[in-house]
Structure 1
Amino acid sequence: MRLDLAPFASDPAQGRGRRHAEAPAPTRNDYQRDRDRIVHSTAFRRLVYKTQVFLNHEGDLFRTRLTHTLEVAQLGRSIARSLRLHEDLVEAIALAHDLGHTPFGHAGQDALHACMRQHGGFEHNLQSLRVIDVLEERYPAFDGLNLTFETREGVLKHCAKRVARWIDAHEPGGVGRRFLDGTQPSLEAQLANLADEIAYNAHDVDDGVRSGLIDFEQVCALPLVARFRDEALAEYPELVRMKPRRLLSETLRRMLSAQVYDVIDTTRAALARHQPDSADAVRQLPPLVAFSPEMRAASSALKRFLLQQLYRHPQVMDTTERAQRIVRELFAIYIDRPQDMPADFAASPLPHRAVADYIAGMTDRYAIREHERLTGQRLFDHGPG
């Protein structure tokens, strides 16, 4: 074990290993190896052209799934270091957590779920696990990336009991089990999940203001944001007139820092209260990585604001409707004409799941081009060509 790891941190030497046994790497621990496999995967490269809130072609500076993923990994590693958790495991989970996301973000996911409603549904979190377990094709001896149990359980952060029972039937005692017996994942998995929330709240405000769809003064009606704007102006009063962009950046920087420190302090207090002496002991306790009640309430208020003012903005909804139409029509075409897909998808004995896998793996721009090729319609006039 590394000397700087806390006793409750995940230790790759004590982990549950991989589904297919492999000899250890001479210079890397198992979690580093997971991280490296994820970075070199096809699904990871596709994230650069997958929507966060705004389509990739709507502006060069808006976040994509890739930049979001990197921000989650950075926040997660920073907090993990302070808590003496395993940074490589946090990073691996963060880098893989959105690999199963559809083109067009949540709009694409909702449309694909509707198409798959009679065939098991679609959920991007479960699809991320499917990508790393099955769909990546890089190794001669097994499908998927053959990642460790600890990385895989962190990727599967949500799971309906119906699905968990199916997973547990195929992998007894595996990554679906905790959803059936009410236990918790590792602290590293808990941290990656919360870092995801911290990252997207902040960067969606940044992108929303940059786009002009929401106004900075609107966001400052929220106490969480107003507090850090006021702190920034107290130290740099000239920002209000001369540097409005810097005022937004400084406000969000302070907000991010406060949330990080809040998680560290709250988690340290929970660890001191429960005193887990091993990673396995953590699994029997309530969730330990968390915001304080005050920060949780403030973060939830920000999420509600973004839902009403940004994600449901008429311009975003217009994009959503066109994106969902593309997904629905592609799904119907491929079910009717599987030969329009690559041969390995077309030959699947589970045609609906194969179509879902194929569409979920598309980037925004590839889905736009495929839809135009198959229907003769271009629904995004300024989409990539």
Structure 2
Amino acid sequence: MNQHISLAPFASLPEQSKGRCFPEPESATRSCHQRDRDRIIHSAAFRRLQYKTQVFVNHEGDFFRTRLTHSLEVAQIARTACRYLNLNQELAESLALAHDLGHPPFGHAGEDALDEALAPYGGFDHNAQSLRVVSELEQRYAEFDGLNLTWECVEGVVKHNGPLLGSKVLNPKPVPQAILDYNENVMDLDLENYSSLEAQIAALSDDIAYNNHDIDDALRAEIIRIDDLSDIPVVGETFAQVAKQYPGLDESRLIYEAVRRLIGDMVNDLLQETQQRIKDASPKDIDDIRHSNGPIASFSERIQKCDRELKAFMFENVYRHYKINRMTSKARRVVQNLFTLFMAEPNCLPTEWYKLTDGKPSERTAKVVADYIAGITDRYALDEHARLFDVQARNS
């Protein structure tokens, strides 16, 4: 399909895709990256994001964002940016929708608990788990495990935050073994270089979405007040401007108007800074993007400073608030208890999962237990914990 005509020469052009692990006939009606997007949307892992924590546990209120609504918001921002820059919207959307597929229940609390429990076996990393979801754990198709996504989509899932190996890595840290094994035995993902511009845009769209929507949720949960934001660059100024322009405006509308403007400001900044970097780098094709010495998509220093100070503020005042601490404490205990029990007694796993273990504590069993726990939702994890640890709970 000749859908790349209006795309920039350095975009990820569908007809130049490096293909899939398992070759398939091309669709007569959709580009290869449209098919990636559609497969992600129809996956079980994507549906389960509806009941996985963003910041607030899902059952605490229907209004708060979940991993699913967050992913949809990231996709909207990424599509908008890529449309303006003449990039591949479908690839960026696929990456936005897939970027959280590997997150376990209870958000970062669940991830930290699994990482600690799996320390003797290499730890837990949600990006590596996302790779496992799309390459192995989704079992829907007759001819292959996983979703058989294109090389460009898998590459973006793995390294949307930048190179993982080599001299271009700013903060070197061990690369999860699952990614190294996939890179060596299945697809060479060029781990020493940058990903596509679409993947870079999706990663920054994630920052825009969660920064602003976590502010929104935290204000509405009354964990912070608008006045608390006054000293944060850009953020405090935006709330002050809205309050001045609309004196007496209902607080709920004030929050929405300010958050809306903040998102718009950050998106416009991303577009302007990225356009300037494209102009400076003069990339002729996507290889020039991948082999550049730094990211092409970026915020300006003004928004980077805002991002740093906002993250520090949110970490101190929201993510470590006592109400969140109580929730994360319970979440860690639930995940730790489930992991410990399943490792000691893998026959307590559902039969189809138990058959994948060694039947005893081992590295293989730990991997299966991690896959099982990472795949369940907040609600199911709580129910499973009750079934296993409450002697009066019905085991159904």
Query: Partner residue of 1:347?
Result: 355
Please state how far the C-alpha of 1:377 moved relative to its aligned partner.
7.7
Identity of aligned residues (%): 45
User: Structure 2 CA distance, aligned partners of 1:86 and 1:250?
Assistant: 30
Aligned length: 371
State whether structure 2 residue 305 is matched by structure 1 residue 297.
yes
Query: Partner residue of 2:112?
Result: 110
Residue pairs, 1:251-290, within 5 angstroms: 251-285=258-292, 286-290=294-298
Mark the CA change 1:161 to 1:45 in structure 2 (over 3 Å): closer, same or farther.
closer
AA aligned opposite 1:359: I
Please state how far the C-alpha of 1:232 moved relative to its aligned partner.
1.6
Alignment match of 1:205 (pick from 210, 215, 227): 215
State whether structure 2 residue 194 is matched by structure 1 residue 184.
yes
Whether the 8 Å CA contact 2:21–2:186 is kept in 1: the answer is: no
Please state how far the C-alpha of 1:294 moved relative to its aligned partner.
1.4
User: Structure 2 CA distance, aligned partners of 1:375 and 1:47?
Assistant: 25
TM-score, length of structure 1 as denominator length: 0.93
Whether the 8 Å CA contact 2:239–2:258 is kept in 1: the answer is: yes
AA aligned opposite 1:188: E
State whether structure 2 residue 218 is matched by structure 1 residue 237.
no
Give the secondary structure class of the aligned counterpart of 2:234: helix
Residue pairs, 1:107-146, within 5 angstroms: 107-146=109-148
Please state how far the C-alpha of 1:165 moved relative to its aligned partner.
3.8
Alignment match of 1:367 (pick from 381, 385, 392): 381
Please state how far the C-alpha of 1:121 moved relative to its aligned partner.
1.0
User: Structure 1 CA distance, aligned partners of 2:351 and 2:383?
Assistant: 19
Whether the 8 Å CA contact 1:371–1:377 is kept in 2: the answer is: no
Please state how far the C-alpha of 1:162 moved relative to its aligned partner.
5.9
User: Structure 2 CA distance, aligned partners of 1:93 and 1:314?
Assistant: 33
Whether the 8 Å CA contact 1:138–1:144 is kept in 2: the answer is: yes
Query: Partner residue of 2:77?
Result: 75
Please state how far the C-alpha of 1:324 moved relative to its aligned partner.
0.4
Query: Partner residue of 1:382?
Result: none
Query: Partner residue of 1:381?
Result: none
Give the secondary structure class of the aligned counterpart of 1:226: helix
User: Structure 2 CA distance, aligned partners of 1:212 and 1:73?
Assistant: 28
Alignment match of 2:372 (pick from 358, 361, 364): 358
State whether structure 2 residue 228 is matched by structure 1 residue 218.
yes
User: Structure 1 CA distance, aligned partners of 2:365 and 2:74?
Assistant: 34
Residue pairs, 1:22-37, within 5 angstroms: 22-37=24-39
Whether the 8 Å CA contact 2:45–2:375 is kept in 1: the answer is: yes
Query: Partner residue of 1:63?
Result: 65
Give the secondary structure class of the aligned counterpart of 2:11: coil
**CA deviation profile, 1:171-198 (whole Å, cap 9, x unmatched):** 35x22x32xx3x1000000011110011
**CA deviation profile, 1:290-325 (whole Å, cap 9, x unmatched):** 000111011111011000000000110111111000
User: Structure 1 CA distance, aligned partners of 2:337 and 2:244?
Assistant: 53
Please state how far the C-alpha of 1:235 moved relative to its aligned partner.
2.8
Give the secondary structure class of the aligned counterpart of 1:223: coil
Please state how far the C-alpha of 1:16 moved relative to its aligned partner.
0.7
User: Structure 2 CA distance, aligned partners of 1:125 and 1:50?
Assistant: 16
TM-score, length of structure 2 as denominator length: 0.91
Please state how far the C-alpha of 1:222 moved relative to its aligned partner.
1.2
Please state how far the C-alpha of 1:12 moved relative to its aligned partner.
1.2
Mark the CA change 1:200 to 1:187 in structure 2 (over 3 Å): closer, same or farther.
same
Query: Unmatched 5+ residue regions in structure 1?
Result: 379-384
- Alpha carbon RMSD of aligned pairs, Å? 1.6
Query: Partner residue of 1:50?
Result: 52
Residue pairs, 1:370-381, within 5 angstroms: 370-376=384-390
